[in-house]
Amino acid sequence: MLEKAPGGKSGALLATYEGGVKAIVKVMKSKLPSGHHRQRGISASVHPLHEVAYYRVAQMFGYEHLVPETVLTMKAMPGYTASAQLFMPAHHLNELQPKLMNVDDPNWGAMLAETCTVVPKHYWKELLACDILAGVRDRHANNVGFLVRSENDRPLYRIVAWDNAVSFGRTFERYHNVFHKYLFRRSVDLGDVWKKLDGLTLQDLRASVGEYLQPEDLKHAFLRVRFFVDYPYRLPFKVCSKGHDSPHDFPDYKSYFEPVVERPLHLLRVAA
């Protein structure tokens, strides 16, 4: 059985299978319900592929607990390729802190950061690593869920990341309420997560997600990782989203992500 999925603007469907198993289904199509062909620069036609690619990235890093299992299928809607992501009910941020409903509150960012502290920070670091690689442009408060269980009469929280289609692409130009910047401000110690990023090779990435991405999108994903590894003392959100932060701190977007013949030395790492 297929029905309209709750929330979102992508036209996702909620499928219910035998035994009561549910999945969020995104059918490959040329445009969104709004009539637009792209969402934040990412073509609607590749949304199902990018959903699966993001899950495969989480698997590659060993962080599959962050993302519900996601596969490509032609069974959900016969004749059409679609992604199917295991439906995982979870709490939204505003259930933990109702005041977050008012995004115009001048203290919204501080409340967000405080509310998120109920989740051990290593989960946020893992999510950040996946989002850096994937260039996620739509990681807003409704695209992260909170799971809770009780242990020794204490609540234990973890996060789940869903709606990951608006990802990869070749630029970081279009952010939408990306709240990592509220959690980590302008710097972060990723600890052991850095080892995952620094050890990643283009060949590893190609083997994991190459079948779901265009070659240029794949190379840009690797470049994003190298950027953050090359500048581990600071998370340059402004550089990633606008192409510039300070002339003394970082290369601008064009020089890093659009290499020319005489390219910076660090770009040699992406040679296939």
pLDDT tens-place string over residues 135-172: 887 777 788 999 999 888 899 999 999 999 988 877 55
Q: Which two tokens stand for residue 206?
A: 């190609």
In three-state form (DSSP H/G/I as H, E/B as E, the rest C), the secondary structure along the chain is CEEECCCCCCCCEEEECHHHCEEEEEECCCCCCCCCCEECCEEHHHHHHHHHHHHHHHHHHCCHHHCCCEEEECCCCCCCCEEEEECCCCECHHHHCHHHHCCCCCCHHHHHHHHHCCCCHHHHHHHHHHHHHHCCCCCCHHHEEEEEEEECCEEEEEEEECCCCCCCCCCCCCCCCCCHHHHHCCCCCCCCHHHHHHCCCHHHHHHHHHHHCCHHHHHHHHHHHHHHHHCCCCCCHHHHHHCCCCCCCCCCHHHHHCCCCCCCHHHHHHCC
Residue of 126 and 229 predicted with greater confidence: 126
Q: What is the pLDDT of residues 22-47, one digit of tens each?
A: 999 999 998 888 888 887 778 889 99
CA 114 to centroid of chain Cα atoms: 21
Least confident segment among 19-23, 97-101, 177-181, 255-259: 255-259
Rounded Cα–Cα distance for residues 45 and 31 (Å)? 7
| φ, ψ of residue 154 in degrees (nearest 5) | -125, 140
Under a CB-based contact definition with an 8 Å cutoff, are residues 68 and 140 in contact?
no
Looking at the predicted structure, is the pLDDT value of residue 75 above 70? yes
pLDDT band at 182 (very low <50, low <70, confident <90, very high): low
